[in-house]
Structure 1
Amino acid sequence: MLLDLLGVVYDGGTPIAGAAAAVERLRNAGLLLRFVSNTTRSSRSAIIAQLAAMGIEVADEELLTPARAAVEWLRRHGRRPHLLVHPDLEVEFSGLKGGSGRAVVVGDAGEAFDHASLNRAFRELVAGADFLALAVNRTFKDSDGLLSLDAGAFVAALEFASGRSPVVLGKPSPDFFLSALAGLNCPAADAVMIGDDAESDVAGALSAGVGAALLVRTGKYRPNDETRVDPAPTAVIDDLAAATDWIISRAAA
């Protein structure tokens, strides 16, 4: 089982009704879970603490984020990061030492996105730095309940200006989904993904070979999102509680 967080389990700092009980039901049904989040404004420890405050206990190995994938990539390739990320995420990269080259790492920097910061990243890319995008989501549901620009627009601007294509580390990268499933020892065809983003969560998972992907009508979901993506969702469900009913009923069949 793969579960998105923002828009599925919680909105901002508020749990979505029935989500905590749904996670408990999935665990009680014997299903192994991985929480796969494209959130790039919060550290792993902050996310785990936020979930704990909502009554959802998540072990470190159950949470996969693009920042963790980026740190592993940087270590594997011997690169030092040039960060264009939210200040709260910088701690995730603090343990990196040395490296034979540079890599620009772009996440949702929020207010830190300005001409100067984008231009510094652009100049690094022109000078030959590798290009890592933590995620390429178009939008996210902001704290005021409206959609806001996500990192994808800024990644696209750097790609256009530099003529360089990024390595995408979060959803919808197939490697991101497959890495989460590797920890479960679960074939992709037997897995289910639950998300509120038709493009990154649902179509991304299905394109990676995940057997089923459910789109919930919470979070950033807007009417007819399911008609705008290919592959289309396996099913469109009201919320995580209803998705849990869908999964458990089929597991028992």
Structure 2
Amino acid sequence: MLFKHFINLTRGVNCRRYLCTMATTTVKTVLVDLSGTVHVDTDEIPGSIDAVTRLVHAGLNVKFVTNTTKESKKCLVDRLTNIGFSAQPSQVFTSLTAARQLVEKLGVRPFLMLDQRALVDFEGLDQSNPDAVLIGLAPDNFNYETMNKAFRLILDGATLIAIHKARYYKRKDGLALGPGPFVTALEYATDTKAKVVGKPEKSFFLSAIEEFECRPEECVMIGDDARDDVLGAMTAGMCGVLVKTGKYREGDENKIEPKPTYTADNFSAAVDYILQSL
């Protein structure tokens, strides 16, 4: 049975409204955030590679889920491999994938505000005479000229699609602005609301576990973002474990309701919590 000593381990954390019934449900799948959770840029967060291996050896499904929009899925897999993780393309689910699916579903022609390295995931899409704006993390495109072009397209009726609205993320040189502030600027200027496809959207988490044929309450999400990773997963019916690495700031666990299922010092400690509680 999962988390036999759940009440003691979580020190009274209240997550009954959104989470699985811990006394009767077994974990089958663990969703793992990437940047800030298991690595920062090209550096492993110590102990993360071994921790992923321990999850796999325990017979759990492991899938990396990320809002990263600066790189294609292939770039992400190559980065993980170079760091030392054993990762296949099928083990990585990105918000870029979810965004392309939405663009195709809507049948729109997007103006892509994306990093050059992410464009490969959108090859083959008709981008002529755009009737949609698709925005991700694209620092080189966040200038007046490009933002103004997007602004005018939206005013003329183009759909605004945000791959995600993260406020900030962790780089080697410190915290950096995410795409959220720029999406919000376009929403404010055009008096419209973006369609968001990445975390913390419920559909993102449910799509990530679809292949495993398991219920949300049989899943745990581990991440460094209290709102996008943890609360997003919990709202989808999963358990959410927050790690104190990456973008984590002191007290983040108290900024969401319900509180995280568990707050761990790092990814390895989060895995310890899951495995020791099985």
Matched, 1:187 2:204: no
Residue 55 of structure 1: how far off its partner (Å): 2.0
Q: What's the secondary structure of 1:33's corresponding residue?
A: strand
Q: What's the secondary structure of 1:49's corresponding residue?
A: helix
Aligned position for 1:108: 137
Q: Which has the higher contact order (CA 8 A, sep 6+)?
A: 2
Q: How many residues align?
A: 249
Residue 123 of structure 1: how far off its partner (Å): 0.9
Alignment of 1:182-221 (within 5 A): 182-210=210-238, 212-221=239-248
Aligned position for 1:66: 95
Runs of 5+ unmatched residues, structure 1? none
- The CA deviation string for residues 147-195 of structure 1, in whole angstroms up to 9 with x for no partner, is 1111000000000011111111110011000100112211001110000
Aligned position for 2:203: 175
Percent identity, aligned pairs only, is 39
The root-mean-square deviation of aligned C-alpha atoms, in Å, is 1.4
- Which of 49, 52, 76 lines up with 2:78 in the alignment? 49
Aligned position for 1:83: 112
Does the 8 Å contact 2:167/2:181 carry over to 1? yes
- Which of 236, 243, 254 lines up with 1:227 in the alignment? 254
Q: Distance in 1 between matches of 2:237 and 2:61?
A: 18
User: What TM-score does the superposition give when structure 1 sets the normalisation length?
Assistant: 0.95
Q: Distance in 2 between matches of 1:59 and 1:77?
A: 29
Does the 8 Å contact 2:162/2:195 carry over to 1? yes
Matched, 1:118 2:143: no
Runs of 5+ unmatched residues, structure 2? 1-29
Aligned position for 2:175: 147
Q: What's the secondary structure of 1:132's corresponding residue?
A: strand
Residue 198 of structure 1: how far off its partner (Å): 0.6
- The CA deviation string for residues 195-247 of structure 1, in whole angstroms up to 9 with x for no partner, is 0001110111111111x110001111111111111221111101111111111
Aligned position for 2:184: 156
Residue 13 of structure 1: how far off its partner (Å): 1.0
Residue 98 of structure 1: how far off its partner (Å): 7.2
Does the 8 Å contact 1:142/1:148 carry over to 2? yes
Q: Distance in 1 between matches of 2:78 and 2:177?
A: 26
- The CA deviation string for residues 119-149 of structure 1, in whole angstroms up to 9 with x for no partner, is 11111111111111011000111220x2111
> Structure 1 counterpart of 2:84, which letter?
G
Q: What's the secondary structure of 2:109's corresponding residue?
A: strand
User: Structure 2 vs 1, CA of residues 154 and 98 (structure 1 numbering), >3 Å: closer, same or farther?
Assistant: closer
Does the 8 Å contact 1:104/1:130 carry over to 2? yes
User: What TM-score does the superposition give when structure 2 sets the normalisation length?
Assistant: 0.86
> Structure 2 counterpart of 1:231, which letter?
P
Q: Distance in 1 between matches of 2:167 and 2:120?
A: 25
Does the 8 Å contact 1:78/1:98 carry over to 2? no
Aligned position for 1:28: 57
Tell me which moved more, 51-60 or 130-139. 51-60
Larger radius of gyration: 2
Q: Distance in 1 between matches of 2:49 and 2:125?
A: 35
Q: Distance in 1 between matches of 2:168 and 2:257?
A: 18
Aligned position for 2:274: 247
Aligned position for 2:18: none
